[in-house]
Amino acid sequence: MESTKTFKTASIHQVPKDGSRLPLMEAFYTIQGEGGNTGTAAYFIRLGGCDVGCHWCDVKESWDAELHPLTTIEEIVEMASPFPGKTVVVTGGEPLLYNLNPLTSQLQENGIRTMIETSGAYPLSGYWDWVCLSPKKFKAPDASVYPFADELKVIIFNKSDFKWAEEHAARVGEHTKLYLQPEWSKANQLMPFIVEYVKSNPKWRVSLQTHKYMDIP
């Protein structure tokens, strides 16, 4: 089964507020590499557009929404439907820039579980089976998003980030799974500190970007 697809459409656009078309950067069937669902098959839908500006972002090509073709949600759902994993991860870019209600309701109507990767910088839209909240210093999460987080995944870039991680952990629900994930370019250097932190603070778990070690998308 083909796992990637390229698109050709106009590039300058305004994303409609009704969520009927979304700027699609790429979509691919792979293994969820991070967080609580690591190791499970999922179809990733990567939407273009992000104004958070993390200097270590591993997908800066996503930031400019206008580079990514507006695609109807019918087309997106049709592309996702054949894959046996029956799970979609909506990511970006920052997917909460957009109204995700129509996309997620159509996915769920087609028997597909819906998961999101978000910084939480904007209020939640969409109907979700799993919410991964990954807060950022550069644009704090909207307060309304914390209660919906199934997992909190904090990126550790330097040692002061552990304290910052605890501030966010204090804001999520008691059933939210807590993950510390090393920033990729500093992972080797940071791992010993993350390991010691989790050993001393066992409410946290380690999350690695396992897809990068597996050399898959």
Ligand X SMILES: C[S@@+](CC[C@H](N)C(=O)[O-])C[C@H]1O[C@@H](n2cnc3c(N)ncnc32)[C@H](O)[C@@H]1O
Q: At what angle do helices 101-109 and 73-80 cross, to 10 degrees?
A: 40
User: Which stretch in 6-14, 31-39, 170-178, 200-208 sits in contact with ligand 2KA by CB under 6 A?
Assistant: 31-39
Q: Which helix (H) or strand (E) holds 39?
A: none
How many beta carbons lie within 10 A of that of residue 120, not counting itself?
Answer: 28
Q: Does 94 bind ligand 2KA (CB under 6 A)?
A: no
- How far is residue 48's CA from residue 174's CA, in Å, rounded to a whole number? 32
36 vs 92 by CB, closer to ligand X: 92
Out of 37, 71, 106, 119, name the contact with ligand X by CB under 6 A: 119
Q: Does 117 bind ligand X (CB under 6 A)?
A: yes
Residues 34-93 within binding reach of ligand SF4 (CB under 6 A): 50, 52-54, 57, 59, 62, 92-93
3-class SS of residue 1: coil
How many beta carbons lie within 10 A of that of residue 199, not counting itself?
Answer: 9
Q: Does 117 bind ligand 2KA (CB under 6 A)?
A: yes
User: Which stretch in 71-79, 90-98, 164-172, 195-203 sits in contact with ligand X by CB under 6 A?
Assistant: 90-98
Q: Which option in ligand 2KA, ligand X, ligand SF4, none does residue 53 bind, with CB closer than 5 to 8 A by kind?
A: ligand SF4
Residue 113 contacts residue 43 (beta carbons within 8 Å): no
37 vs 118 by CB, closer to ligand SF4: 118
User: Which stretch in 28-36, 140-148, 155-163, 175-183 sits in contact with ligand 2KA by CB under 6 A?
Assistant: 28-36
19 vs 135 by CB, closer to ligand SF4: 135
- How far is residue 68's CA from residue 21's CA, in Å, rounded to a whole number? 11
Whole-number Cα distances in Å, 4 to 26, 28, 43, 45: 8, 5, 10, 11
Per-residue exposure over 32-65, b if at least 16 CB sit within 10 Å of its own CB, e if not: bbbbbbeeeebbbbbbbbbebebeebeeeebbeb
Q: Does 151 bind ligand 2KA (CB under 6 A)?
A: no
Q: Does 85 bind ligand 2KA (CB under 6 A)?
A: no
Residue 80 contacts residue 88 (beta carbons within 8 Å): yes
Interface with ligand X (CB under 6 A): 50, 56-59, 91-92, 94, 117-119, 134, 153, 155, 181, 183-184, 209
Residues flagged as binding site: 31-33, 46, 50, 54, 56-58, 91, 93, 134-136, 217
Interface with ligand 2KA (CB under 6 A): 30-34, 44, 91, 117, 211, 217
